[in-house]
Amino acid sequence: MKALDTVLKTACTAAALIGAINVLAMQPAYAADASNGKVLTEAHNCAACHGPNLNKPVSAEYPKLAGQHADYLYWALRQYQMGNGNPNFGRNNPIMAAQVQSLSQSDLKDISAYIESLDGDLVVKK
């Protein structure tokens, strides 16, 4: 009887897992909106530090962003959100941390898509 209970519990757990996976698989993926990203970068005045077209920083301390890969940008922005000043957990630039705290993950993806779409001076070495 105990073995039957174990088999039934395992079967129910497996069925629930398969059901959850199917529900997740049917969710539409979020497509980043570069036009919203442009609005957000202008609203947050990203060019104040990263320069015109986000490609000519006002200081050598700030990176050129235009043309950078969206995935990299998204995770860099997320790390500023999560960093809380702890360099072991995330990025710790207080200016950037303050800039991204109010943004959603969708906003970060939109910003990243917009910046990736810009022509920039980044060089890919082969």
Mean pLDDT of the 22-41 span: 79
**Three-state SS letters, 11-40:** HHHHHHHHHHHHHHHCCCCCCCCHHHHHHH
5: Cα within 13 Å, side-chain hemisphere: 2
pLDDT in tens, 53-108: 999 999 999 999 999 999 999 999 999 988 765 666 678 888 998 999 999 999 99
Residue range 9-20, pLDDT digits in tens: 665 666 665 655
Q: Average of pLDDT values for 12-33?
A: 64
User: Which carries the bigger pLDDT value, residue 3 or residue 25?
Assistant: 3
User: 56 lies in a domain?
Assistant: yes
Mean pLDDT of 29-40: 90
- Its pTM stands at 0.72
- Within-domain flag for 78: yes
pLDDT of residue 117: 95
pLDDT at residue 87, as a whole number: 62
Closest CA to 114 of 45, 59, 65: 65
Q: What is the CATH number of the domain that holds 58?
A: 1.10.760.10
- How far apart (Å, rounded) are the C-alpha atoms in residues 50 and 59? 8
Is residue 29 pLDDT above 90, yes or no? no
Contacts for 76 with CB less than 8 Å, ≥ 6 apart: 91
User: Which is more confidently placed, 39 or 5?
Assistant: 39
**pLDDT at residue 2 in the model:** 64
Residue 92 in domain: yes
User: Could you count the other beta carbons within 10 Å of the beta carbon of residue 117?
Assistant: 15
Report the domain count for the chain: 1
Kindly state whether residue 59 falls inside one of the protein's structural domains.
Answer: yes
Q: Is residue 58 part of a domain?
A: yes
Q: Which domain holds residue 82?
A: 31-117
DSSP assignment, residue 53? G
